[in-house]
Amino acid sequence: MKAEVYSITYRIPLSNAQQARLDRKWPDGDPFISYEKIESLLEPLRVENLDWSHHSGQYLYFTVYGDDLEGTAAEVVERLEKKLGAE
């Protein structure tokens, strides 16, 4: 029997500008960029457990599943940089 890595949780440090984009709210208090919006941006990638709250520090966390963990993580970073800016 051999154990294999099937999922990894990654942490991306966010710049002040990226954190500010994620913290923006509509006048009614709902987030401008919701978890659902980021999840739909990352579909159909096998990514779960997104988190970027003030409790987690200035980081965005996500868990990648499947056989190509590094390739999926690179695609997640690329898509997030397009949405939030590269810095």
Mean pLDDT of 55-71: 91
Residues 7/65, Cβ–Cβ less than 8 Å: yes
**pLDDT by residue (tens digit) across 41-55?**
999 999 999 998 767
Mean pLDDT of 53-66: 87
Residues 84/22, Cβ–Cβ less than 8 Å: yes
At residue 61, the 3 state secondary structure works out as: strand
pLDDT of residue 29: 93
Amino acid at 34: S
Residues 10/64, Cβ–Cβ less than 8 Å: yes
Q: Which CATH architecture has domain 7-84?
A: 2-Layer Sandwich (3.30)
Strands 47-51 and 7-13, bridge-based pairing: unpaired
